[in-house]
Amino acid sequence: MERLPDGSFQFAPPRTFPITIGPLTDADAQAVAAILSANTRCDLGGPAPMPAAQAHAALRALLERTGARWRELDEYAERGRWDYVAHIERRRAECPQWHAMEEEQRRSLTDEWHEQAMHRLSESGIDGPQAFLDHPAFAADVLRLSGPDAASPWAARAETADLVLRTYMGAAYHARQVATFQDQNMRGTFPMLEWDGVADSVACARCRRHFGQRFPVARPPRLPLHPGCRCGLTGRNKWALADEAAARERAPGTIPPTA
């Protein structure tokens, strides 16, 4: 945990994605660190002084009480915000009957466009795009374009807490993996790491570009790549690499590139 000049704190295992939350008092920052630590120990199979559901509830309550924000999620939401606004405004412009419609018809269409726009945000890699509503300007856009029924501050804070926990757990797991493969007893056996991602409908283009890419074990990439990122690393052993080198000689271009 590191205190920053603006009163926020950065929570992340070394060489992983930063999670910057603030502003916080020293006591609240210690409470966040304890929640993250307890939840991570549960994920890694160690002692679990706080069950995952309790960790989620405690972090959500702290965010609501302090008004603290997750900086990296706000930055991510700011980028997604413009796509959301453009989608709904484009759909309205493409609907010639819009101005002649009854209010109930407009609301029904707008609800449909809201769901479409939120789905587009989920394709950016965020598993819980509802958390974007924790961003004040984004929430204001939703209220302006889709009405109050589309925005739920409680759900936003709940999903923000969930994303913080899942992203921190991913970072801790990544740091543990890298440390294992960099151990002097393992490095000679696993000289390369391969980027492993979930190739489903919500995997973002930024992550997809790295799927299968390889890195020397001494120079691992920083993961998670963004809030809610589900990517990880797998070790490639020297025997598999030797077999692939032989195969590459027989059929060039069939082996993933090395970063």
The three-state secondary structure class of 157 is helix
SS3 69: strand
DSSP state of 233: E
Pairwise CA distance, residues 143 & 188, whole Å: 56
pLDDT of 44? 47
Tell me the pLDDT band of 58, cut-offs 50, 70 and 90. Answer: very high
Q: What is the pLDDT of residues 153-189, one digit of tens each?
A: 667 888 889 889 989 988 888 888 888 888 877 778 8
Summarised one tens digit per residue, pLDDT across range 82-117 is: 888 999 999 999 998 888 888 888 888 988 998 888
Domain extents in the chain:
2-69, 71-160
User: Helix, strand or coil for residue 249?
Assistant: helix
Rounded Cα gap, residues 130 and 197, in angstroms: 23
b/e per residue 144-156 (b: at least 16 CB within 10 A): ebbeeebbeeeeb
pTM above 0.75, yes or no: yes
